[in-house]
């Protein structure tokens, strides 16, 4: 699964790179943006995107000058557009959230987002989205400030970025398919979250997710999944993470949830080459439904230890089935050794 997902994303972004090599560049300043850090430039950004989206006769880039600071409210970049659009050279600060809806072949590179009151970047109903080289920062106690949220979108890559928020660094749910997250430094925050229970009991699922070469520092969770399948966490480093590995079919993001036993199955989740420290005794938690157990859980070369000197870590395993390879610490008794 992971290899297939990576290959499809690689091909997609090779094609996107070839298309954008012939792009025409537009400067957001030419659409009225001031970039002085005090003037609200939201409408100028919307005007620039809208004009390029509907009037450009070839692939284009929207340039946001790096030497300026743009004050923005919530922005929705909505497609479909005539041609691919690339956001580049754009470390803009003091921004609220950036939302991509119904977009195809979008590249975002070099953004710097600070203190959004909600999700910093949201990707919805989009395909072939590349997000790289971004920096996201908000206080560790700020709720609902996910770094990147991906929903109802396919073929998305998030790479080479530093994300610290009060919520998930990267979250995926409800139709997130074929997503790659690589070389991301996460913390503070809740880690990388895959799948969750939606509002009013609606079920959100995510599949074909590949997380690799990421570092979690002082986060609540490391790699976690609620309702998901075909997920891989490969070459992950944990530094003082509260729950480094967690699968919870009873996860409740709201104040009140109906804990029904008929959960959506979590299946085919792999943890390979995962190492680091845990601030809690439970370094590994597999909390699965009695009615629909977790299946196909695979662990190999997992080494987790306590961040507190002299303490030991342990695992908790309920209704989970799968296999364990070499060097699994702490031991996970519900997984069969192979």
pLDDT in tens, 216-253: 998 887 656 656 789 999 999 999 999 999 988 776 65
**pLDDT category of residue 201 using cuts at 50, 70 and 90:** low
The encoded tokens of residue 12 equal 């997609």
pLDDT in tens, 139-179: 988 888 899 999 999 999 999 999 999 999 999 988 899 99
Cα separation, 20 vs 16, in Å, equals: 6
In the predicted structure, residue 19 carries a pLDDT above the cut 90:
no
Based on the residue annotation, tell me whether 190 is a catalytic residue of this protein.
yes
pLDDT in tens, 102-121: 888 888 888 888 888 888 99
Per-position DSSP letters for 40-102, written without gaps between them: E-HHHHHHHHHHHHHH-SS-EEEE--TTSEEEB--EEEE---SS-EEEES----SB--EEEES
Mean pLDDT throughout 22-26? 81
Mean of the per-residue pLDDT values for the chain? 83
Picking from 309, 317, 312, 308, the residue whose alpha carbon sits closest to that of residue 336 is 317
Cα separation, 278 vs 291, in Å, equals: 30
In the predicted structure, residue 97 carries a pLDDT above the cut 80:
no
Cα separation, 224 vs 244, in Å, equals: 8
Rounded-to-10 torsion of CA 130, 178, 166, 71: 30
Q: Which one of the listed residues 96, 149, 155, 190 is annotated catalytic?
A: 190
pLDDT in tens, 43-84: 999 999 999 999 988 888 888 887 888 888 888 888 888 888
The encoded tokens of residue 94 equal 């003091």
């Amino acid at each position: 699964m992971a290899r297939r997902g990576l290959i499809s994303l690689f091909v997609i972004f090779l094609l996107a790179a070839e298309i954008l090599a012939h792009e025409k560049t537009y400067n957001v300043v030419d659409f009225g943006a001031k970039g002085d850090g005090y003037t609200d430039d939201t409408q100028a950004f919307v005007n620039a995107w809208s004009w390029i989206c509907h009037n450009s006769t070839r692939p284009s880039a929207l340039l946001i000058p790096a030497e300026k600071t743009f004050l923005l409210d919530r922005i929705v970049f909505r497609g479909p557009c005539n041609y691919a659009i690339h956001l580049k050279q754009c470390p803009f600060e003091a921004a609220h959230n950036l939302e991509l809806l119904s977009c195809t072949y979008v590249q975002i590179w070099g953004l710097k987002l600070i203190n959004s009151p909600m999700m910093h970047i949201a990707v919805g109903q989009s395909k072939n989205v590349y997000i790289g080289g971004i920096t996201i920062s908000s206080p560790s106690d700020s709720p609902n400030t996910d770094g990147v949220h991906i929903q109802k979108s396919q073929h998305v890559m998030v790479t080479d970025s530093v994300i610290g928020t009060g919520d998930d660094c990267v979250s995926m749910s409800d139709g997130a398919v074929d997503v790659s997250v690589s070389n991301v430094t996460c913390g503070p925050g809740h880690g990388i979250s895959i799948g969750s229970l939606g509002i009013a009991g609606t079920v959100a699922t995510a599949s074909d997710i590949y997380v690799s070469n990421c570092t979690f520092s002082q986060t609540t969770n490391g790699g976690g999944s609620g309702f998901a399948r075909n997920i891989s966490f490969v070459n992950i480093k944990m530094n003082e993470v509260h729950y480094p590995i967690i699968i919870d079919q009873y996860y409740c993001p709201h104040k009140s949830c109906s804990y029904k036993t008929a959960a959506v199955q979590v299946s085919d989740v792999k943890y390979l080459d995962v190492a680091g420290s845990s601030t809690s005794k439970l370094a590994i938690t597999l909390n699965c439904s009695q009615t629909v157990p977790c299946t196909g859980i695979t662990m190999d070369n997992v080494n987790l230890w306590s961040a507190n000197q002299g303490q030991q870590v342990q695992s908790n395993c309920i209704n989970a089935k799968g296999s364990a390879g070499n060097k699994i610490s702490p031991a996970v008794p519900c997984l069969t050794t192979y």
